Structure 1
């Protein structure tokens, strides 16, 4: 059976698309809501433009790795996406297609009234390894299919992101 290559989930947040974009388009803020990301280096702060390259530090169950990413979409208030193009340690990285992450932002009515943003986060598995090899790797790395693991990660990320963007910033 072919592996599932794309997983998406959404959440409604009581924040403007511009406010949500300011958070998701700044990789240095990702540790505030990501279950695995522990930091990013971007060469500056704030939302990144298309073509910008950044590195991410990640951890899962005590295992740490670095990713090198390139921004592929930067549409303020609407969409931010990046492709993970290398993975490995601090010095050596395997340059290969890994994954694509995307955040789509749409103005939305909130259930109790008022306006907010529907945030849809999508992960796409860009790995080119055969499905049989991926199943073995995934069983070790995530204790099951990677798509199932990412489904749980997305749900956690989105709930944490919602809390971040709905929390007023101190004046």
Structure 2
């Protein structure tokens, strides 16, 4: 796999299982993420599992859009990842890697890979209001990881 287009990491005073519980539940993740705001399971899915799909609702200011996410990795306490599409076209991949750093502490790396074909960047940038996607995702990751840390350490 190529290098991510945006990535960030943070150390969290919580177990890898606690952090995985937060990032692998699309409902909980929506409360932590910067643009992602909610979901609806598709195809009878009701929990995170490889192959499960959900419609992700996203927002940035007054702009709203939705995408389809397919879970590609669901390894409790270690990795959660999903591929994002729009109208069947690749948009991105999001991945959360969790590594235990010491007793009841872990390091979480959130990464994303840009997958939009070049011709799709203008219409999707217009729809979302984001013209510098990698830069915006770096800032979004910083905000999401800070919220994840707060939520995980509160438990």
Fold match (TM-score > 0.5): yes
Q: Please give the secondary structure, in 2, of the residue aligned with 1:49.
A: coil
The residue aligned with 1:30 is 29
Residue-by-residue CA offset, 1:31-50 (whole Å, 9 max, x unaligned): 2211112211125655x010
Within 5 A, what are the aligned runs for 1:48-59?
48-59=48-59
Q: CA RMSD in A?
A: 2.2
Measured after TM superposition, the shift of residue 141 of structure 1 is 2.2
Work out the CA distance in 2 between the residues paired with 1:101 and 1:155: 14
The residue aligned with 1:118 is 107
TM-score by length of structure 1 reads: 0.79
The aligned length equals: 150
Within 5 A, what are the aligned runs for 1:1-171?
6-42=5-41, 46=47, 48-86=48-86, 94-109=87-102, 115-129=104-118, 134=121, 138=125, 141-142=129-130, 144-168=131-155
Residue-by-residue CA offset, 1:45-66 (whole Å, 9 max, x unaligned): 55x0100011111111211111
Q: Is the 8 A contact 2:4 2:111 kept in 1?
A: no
Unmatched segments (≥5 aa) in structure 2: none
Residue-by-residue CA offset, 1:79-115 (whole Å, 9 max, x unaligned): 00000022xxxxxxx2200000000000014xxxx54
TM-score by length of structure 2 reads: 0.87
Unmatched segments (≥5 aa) in structure 1: 87-93
Q: Is the 8 A contact 1:98 1:127 kept in 2?
A: yes
Work out the CA distance in 1 between the residues paired with 2:124 and 2:94: 20
Work out the CA distance in 2 between the residues paired with 1:66 and 1:135: 17
Work out the CA distance in 1 between the residues paired with 2:123 and 2:64: 20
Which structure would you say has the larger Rg? 1
Q: Is the 8 A contact 2:84 2:90 kept in 1?
A: yes
